[in-house]
Amino acid sequence: DTAVSQTPKYLVTQMGNDKSIKCEQNLGHDTMYWYKQDSKKFLKIMFSYNNKELIINETVPNRFSPKSPDKAHLNLHINSLELGDSAVYFCASSQDLGGGYGYTFGSGTRLTVV
């Protein structure tokens, strides 16, 4: 039973399209995150959510709109996709905002914009 699951695993789409990535965690954690890993392999935090509420938006363009219907789910919708959005997107969760017990990451969604 996967702790943090993301769908789809791969996504290829054309510039200008709108796409969504879904994330679910079955760990009972309160806090969820989206990270982006670009071609240079740096992992950058995008959003933090706690109990469905947005805590931090790390200066991500407003074409990216996360939505958390409940604390077990955090989806990422991207409008008007650009070439620079091509990356691997990781969802993660932690027990609380402090993250002191460690983060659990999903296996990633590889987004390719052509």
Partner 1 sequence: DAKTTQPTSMDCAEGRAANLPCNHSTISGNEYVYWYRQIHSQGPQYIIHGLKNNETNEMASLIITEDRKSSTLILPHATLRDTAVYYCIVLFSGGYNKLIFGAGTRLAVHP
Find the shortest distance in angstroms from Cβ 74 to partner 1.
14
Query: Segment 54-73, which members bind partner 1 (CB under 8 A)?
Result: 55-56, 58
Interatomic CA distance for residues 70 and 10, integer angstroms: 24
The site string for partner 1 over 6-35 (x = CB under 8 A, - otherwise) reads ---------------------------x--
Find the shortest distance in angstroms from Cβ 112 to partner 1.
14
Q: Which is nearer to partner 1, 14 or 41 (CB)?
A: 41
Which amino acid appears at position 49 of this protein?
Y
Partners of 43 in the beta sheet?
Answer: 37
Binding residues for partner 1, per CB under 8 A?
4, 33, 41-45, 48, 55-56, 58, 88, 90, 92, 97-100, 102-108
